[in-house]
Structure 1
Amino acid sequence: MIYNNKYDVIIIGGSYSGLSAAMSLGRSLRHVLVIDSGLPCNRQTPHSHNFITHDGEKPAIISAKAKTQVDFYETVQFYNGLAISAIKTESGFEIETQSGKIFTSKKVLFATGVKDLLPQIPGFAECWGISVLHCPYCHGYEVKKEKTAIVANGDMAFDYAKMISNWTKDLRLITNGKSKLTLEQTQMLKKHKVEIIEHEIEALEHENGNVQHIVFKNQSKVSVKAIYFRAPFEQHCSLPESLGCELTEQGLLKVDPFQKTTIAGVFASGDCHIQARSVAMAVSSGSFAGAMINREIIDEEFI
């Protein structure tokens, strides 16, 4: 493929949000390059839910169909690789890939997502996205009324248990060590028949990612069909920070209402700046970011 020397926009990250932005920009006649390394965060998740017209579809099928549709727009190109450097220049930005390719653009959109930091518990990573879940809106219906555990502690554990009780009453809270719940929170959970287990977790017994038992360090175990866990995270890509983009207290890229970061010409969409993570949210964010980038270029050119 022959690549342009200069693009209107380079999108780093070609999953749902990046592809949505690329479609918005392609339909705006912008020359766009999408750089993607092919490692979406939900690659282990068997099915995507709560995204109208695609409910229950495999994530890879959604993204493959999206890429085919975006590829229809002749001003959009794709580059399979990893972006390793981003430099702000007088005329825009210079992006270098791991293979040594260098591309330039007026604007940059980061749709790079975040990296979940999972506990070093045997079986946890293998079950992540399959039976260890982060979002009841994405997966709660599929495990409704099932024997369910929450791994959390303190205020977050209380709020999480209250939320998950909407989908199942067969619920136990695993604090993985001494409980940090207040007396009032403990009494409230017991009132709603939420079992509180303070044992430390040794491992998850599972079959092909489908959890069967939580095994504790005292060698006791509990049978469950699903586990909810809110993983801490970090930015999947360090390039926004290398450009000087600020992060929020939560570790997300700080953006204004138009999805501009704190560095002029740099935008963000998808999980790298959204607290609520879902395919539908990522697609919406990408579409809006594409429109805002196009509007900014129009304003700059129409003088």
Structure 2
Amino acid sequence: MKDSKSFDVIIIGGSYAGLSTAMALGRSLRNVLIIDNGLPCNRQTPHSHNFITQDGEKPSIIAEKAKAQVLNYSTVKFQNGLAISGTKINQGFEIMTEKGLIFKARQLVFATGVKDIMPDIRGFAECWGISVIHCPYCHGYEVKNERTGILANGDFAYHYTQLVHNLTKDITIFTNGKAEFTQEQTAKLKQHNIAIIEKEIDCLKHQNGNVKQVVFKDNSTFDLKTIYARPAFEQHCNIPELLGCELTEQGHIKTDVFQKTTVADIFACGDNSSPMRSVANAVSAGNIAGAMINNAMTQKEF
């Protein structure tokens, strides 16, 4: 243990949700510490979209600009590092970083995002966020009318197809194994001339993350430029769960509409607590969390 400092709020995660929370709290004169290790999940993504005033900007540029603006508020501090443990204490919580630094706060905010679990397909990880994409709203316009694949199965693949069909009619579903559609779904896909390929995938051929071909295990190939996929994920940080925060069936941190978790004085915002994975949604959730934390503090202090 090398250090010990106290704050009103510690925010773990300094990307869009965390920075948005910090701005709301900094403008309310709250002493805030942001702890972040600088590895956002969208670090490979070249451009961010569907966020007014920042449409088409690089995600890293948005984050850098946000960080500079947030740190203009003198009560907000930034600590580069990884939070590795959290403990409930009498007057709040104690957080330790991997360097042994100890920080205390009355309230905690987890804006830690999620960790995507890459499937066992060579090339997938290199293309993730570039040409293998997760969100039609974030990236679909840029690949409209392109030859497009959907790497999914069952209800999820069917839902993805409905969304993507508005952007391109050249769609092929890759189930990477036996298809799991209902008769009604199969009939509807056939009606829209959407092919289903059940062959197992060996790898994705790509150039600098831009996919060129799907290569199957039987050595056949399929040319295309874009693939929609939603890999499995896990929480990037296990401290909320260790502190007693409940998770949803899908694996997100359970919160109410005010971003409160199931543990008093702990909030969560961003990808870790919402299936709506976008910069705009993270910023919104962070802003709500900051306002609600300050509101609770003012009621206690008045």
> Normalising to structure 2: TM-score of the pair?
0.98
Report SS of the residue matched to 1:5: strand
Structure 1 partner of 2:33: 33
CA offsets per residue over residues 73-95 of structure 1, 9 Å max, x none? 00000000000110011100101
Structure 2 partner of 1:77: 77
Q: CA RMSD in A?
A: 0.9
Structure 2 partner of 1:199: 199
Q: In terms of mean alpha carbon deviation, does 127-136 or 4-13 score higher?
A: 4-13
Structure 2 partner of 1:232: 232
Q: For structure 1, which runs of at least 5 residues remain unmatched after alignment?
A: none
CA offsets per residue over residues 27-86 of structure 1, 9 Å max, x none? 000000000010000000000000100000001100000000001000000000000110
Q: For structure 2, which runs of at least 5 residues remain unmatched after alignment?
A: none
Distance 2:182 2:287 in 1: 43
CA offsets per residue over residues 254-284 of structure 1, 9 Å max, x none? 1122211111110001111011110000000
Structure 2 partner of 1:112: 112
Counterparts of residues 64-213 of structure 1 (less than 5 Å): 64-213=64-213
Counterparts of residues 39-50 of structure 1 (less than 5 Å): 39-50=39-50
Q: Which amino acid aligns with 2:10?
A: I
Report SS of the residue matched to 2:262: coil
CA offsets per residue over residues 83-120 of structure 1, 9 Å max, x none? 01100111001011110110001000000001111101
Structure 1 partner of 2:259: 259
Any conservation in 1 of the 2:253–2:273 contact (CA below 8 Å)?
Answer: yes
Q: Which amino acid aligns with 1:235?
A: Q
Report SS of the residue matched to 2:275: coil
Tell whether 2:28 aligns with 1:11.
no
Q: Which amino acid aligns with 1:266?
A: I
Distance 2:59 2:258 in 1: 27
Q: Which amino acid aligns with 2:107?
A: K
Q: Which amino acid aligns with 2:260?
A: K
Corresponding residue pairs, total: 300
Report the CA distance between 1:5 and its aligned residue. Answer: 2.3
Distance 1:101 1:211 in 2: 43
Report SS of the residue matched to 1:193: coil
Sequence identity of aligned pairs in percent? 63
Q: Which amino acid aligns with 1:164?
A: V
Structure 1 partner of 2:250: 250
Distance 1:99 1:254 in 2: 29
Any conservation in 1 of the 2:4–2:102 contact (CA below 8 Å)?
Answer: no
Report SS of the residue matched to 1:285: helix
Distance 1:187 1:206 in 2: 33
Runs of 4+ in 1 over 3 A off after TM superposition: none
Q: Which amino acid aligns with 1:242?
A: L
Distance 2:155 2:16 in 1: 32
Structure 2 partner of 1:215: 215
